[in-house]
Chains A and B, each alone.
Chain A
Amino acid sequence: MRPRSAILLPAALLALWHLAFFCAGFLSPYDPAEQARELPYSAPARWQFRGPEGFHLRPYSCAVSAATEQPVPCYPLHFFVHGWQYRFLGLKWNLHLFGVPSPGRIAVLGTDAYGRDLWSRLLFGGRISLAIGLLATLASLVLATLIGTVSGYYGKWTDELLMGGAELFLVVPWLYFLLALRAMLPLHLSASATFLLVVGVIGSLGWARPMRLIRGVVLSARERNYVLAARGFGASDTYLLRRHIAPSTAGVLLTQAALLVPQFVAAEAALSFFGLGISEPVPSWGNMLAALQQYSVLVSYWWMLAPAIALVVTSVMYCWLAEALQRSLKSSSI
């Protein structure tokens, strides 16, 4: 496969993956915060093609609550149904891809401790978590690139100052910093303020490690023959950085990005432990994963692992894309 076309497949898959989260309202049969308290920890729906009148092409969804072990009657699946209202592209909608007639409930991926539909939560949570992961990665890599390039390229006291700063940054006890931050902020934060806060905290805490890698790459690129030659011909610092040094960091940046996105999505769960994360009832993969901290949930209700699986799938796709991009960069630079 030629490198260019090798990029297309993972990029297309990732685009589809993100599109699904973008259209979360359409794909979710229920409001992610709606509690069905009579159905806690209900297992994923089982599908039957045998309805009340014998065999049926239309699948029936049947549920059992794991907590109460009460079977619930089966309901036929319908497509393009009208249900709860959501906002999409600034408008109010109530059309959903699928649903079952009331009073039935369909739990494609099962339900959580409050009987909330895990599938709907996964989609809405993915929207927030992926946005957090991507934005925080972007923020920390921009910071890392700026500081790393300056530090590696200019060397001497600039390098020592910046590296010293980064090392100091790594040894700060963040636990206490986060506790102090929580103490300083007002208790009631709006959803968008929380979102920005999470992106800000994760992004600004995560830059130091990639920065050290980038500095290393810049340090070696600076001494390459073609850079020395260009400098000999009178190229300016800005030209050298733009034309020769920055492109050489692309590979590191891409692999770092692929690694950081899933890391940062999970970091949001840690932040919610301090009351800084996305708070209930708004779903995020982080706070959904937090339910797995309970041992009994981890060993009893396997479907609660869904956000972890989604996170793995996301990171595999990002790694794949990063690898393909790297290969294509290499082949184009030869």
Chain B
Amino acid sequence: MRRLARLCLLVQLLAVFCLAAPSPDPLQPKEEVQLCKENAGQYGGRLVVGLRAEPKTLNPVTAEDAVSREVIGGLMADLVHINRSTQQSEPALAKSWKVSPDGLNYTLKLRRGIRFSDGQPFDADDVVFSFAVYTDEKIDSPQRDLLILDGKPIQVSKLNQYTVRFTLSRPYAAAERIFDSLAILPRHILEKPYHDGQFLQQWSLNAPASQIVGLGPFRLKQYLPGQRVVLERNPYYWKADSAKHRLPYLDELVFVFAGNEDARLMQFEAGETDVVNRLSAQNYSLLSRQGGPSAFQLEDLGPSTEYNFLLFNLNDLGSSHLPEVERKQVWFRDLQFRQAVSAAIDRDAIVRLAYGGRGAPLWGNVSPGNKLWVDANIPHSQHSLDAARQLLKSAGFSWNGNGALVDPNWQLVEFSIIVASSNSQRMQMATLVQDDLSKLGMQVSVVPMEFRALLERVFQNHNYEASILGLGGGDADPNAEMNVWVSNGSTHLWHLGQAHPTTSWEAEIDRLMNQQMLTLNYKRRKRLFDQVQQIISANLPLVFLATPDVLVAAKPAVGNFHPAVLEPTTLWNVDQLYLRRGAEMARSR
């Protein structure tokens, strides 16, 4: 019996020894750490966050899905980082950068003396290696497109151990923003597999934790399939707080796999997770009713950069044999028809009913949440059925004896809107739009659909009439939206696969978007992008509806909690988050 007890004690001691997170390494004299101005926090504790699915990989070069990228965000670091709070770029692994007057050369000075999470030093060779991998055609990284300008990859050269130069083939506005989220890879670990052609198999979820090495605030400790990913403190992280204590404060960052938003909310309510983001307005008000500020820190950060819209199918259906859709495209292509639809939609009701008042109506492609780029002069057309009827009348539409709208050929105006059945807000928008348009005599049917089936119709076979979708939510910079607005872009939703712009205004948008990409001055760029916004709102390729507010919640114990509108809303400053203990908790109340 006594032997058994001793054995138990030994096992427990071993467990404590093995499970304890590594304590932060003391700062080295020659180490150029970045000092943060945030309030100093306390070391220790684990922060638990719910994810909607399991990550698919931990390889930052091949990861495509948002969930994988969220986990990788805790493991990796980039050269220049976009501060999610100010939406401006700021130094990260590169302590400074210089742009040549012609805008073609970016010279980055790297931090000296900093180390990867396995203690190995970081220098210019790692940067050169990382960009060689990102631009490699065989690896085909999703980020590769960003690094190719006019068909030529951005050239990287090492000037000395701590200086690298990036050479662009043509000027590119805000090029330093490209570096955001491009994780710097450890050459000492990945060079061999890369040369052996094994790179794509690296850093899967089954890889041993010691293999996955990065410059982020955390490193992998454990992955339990179907349950959680546990990250532990990177003892060599290159940031310190104002009191020169090495960050991060947290011992562990744990991601649990929860499922949909409701499941994540329930876990948060039950106290199993500490932070929950992307809350719907309904769930947000549920939390605020339940306990208010003493139970949760609830934040409404205002409109997000996402934009939801009604999309009409304006694709060239040439050989796809969809006579019914083609017949209706005659209406959809009529600007006055789209303007009438836009005037008939009660956007305030959408914000009030679908977003519980926590959102903003939209008349253009840039949400008021994108403070740097929104054009405040976009006209806000009033909700007016009379104006809509006038527009329809002047476009040759009329009404039959039953009050139903008919086109100039006396065909009933009826069409369907496909919506993702899993997105309850967009389903509600569709029902409201349907009701608004029925007042114009249009017969609209709402067809809920599984999301992938919907994407296939929109992107592949174009067998749909209208849809309600949303875009945005990524970087606030206009360059991130190139693929939507340029006529040959991969997300040019209303008319995909154009070899040449079909309309003169699309050609004008192409010209302006490409010009803003080459313009380095912010004010001049803003003027160009304002013009784009005006053309879009005048021609209504998409009928913009509304944007939801960014709503997040955290336990009161989470310190330095400063969520931002841009993704990752709550974890962008995870290196500075900490858990308050008893005494400080009492003070903070």
A contact residues vs B (CB 8 Å cutoff): 33, 35, 37, 40, 67, 113-114, 179, 182-183, 186-189, 272-275, 279-281, 293-297, 299-300
Contact = CB atoms under 8 A, between A and B. Distances in A.
Interface string B462-473: 011100000000
B265 interface: yes
Given A187-B416, A273-B421, A300-B286, A279 B447 contact: yes
A68 to B, nearest CB: 8
Contact of A188 (B346, B416, B424, B432): B416
A233 to B, nearest CB: 59
B311 interface: no
Contact of A295 (B265, B353, B421, B435): B265
Contacts of B324: 186
Contacts of A279: 445-448
A273 B427 CA distance: 11
A291 B127 CA distance: 51
12 contacts: A113-B353, A114-B428, A114-B435, A183-B453, A187-B445, A187-B465, A188-B416, A188-B445, A272-B421, A279-B445, A281-B434, A296-B282
A175 to B, nearest CB: 9
A295 B445 contact: no
B416 A280 contact: no
B353 A37 contact: yes
Interface in B402-419: 414-416, 418
Contact of A296 (B280, B421, B447, B465): B280
Contacts of B283: 295-296
A201 B416 CA distance: 22
A112 to B, nearest CB: 10
Nearest to A274: B450
A296 B424 CA distance: 12
Given A114-B431, A280-B431, A296-B283, A37 B465 contact: no
B431 A281 contact: yes
Nearest to B419: A275
B262 interface: yes
Interface in B251-284: 262, 265-266, 280, 282-283
B414 A35 contact: no
Given A187-B447, A187-B463, 16 more contacts: A35-B435, A37-B346, A114-B353, A179-B450, A179-B453, A183-B453, A186-B324, A188-B415, A188-B416, A188-B465, A274-B449, A275-B448, A279-B447, A280-B430, A296-B286, A300-B289
A280 B424 CA distance: 13
A281 B282 contact: no
Nearest to B453: A179
A193 B463 CA distance: 20
Contact of A182 (B262, B266, B453): B453
A21 B266 CA distance: 37
Contact of A275 (B414, B435, B447): B447
Contacts of B463: 187
B356 interface: yes
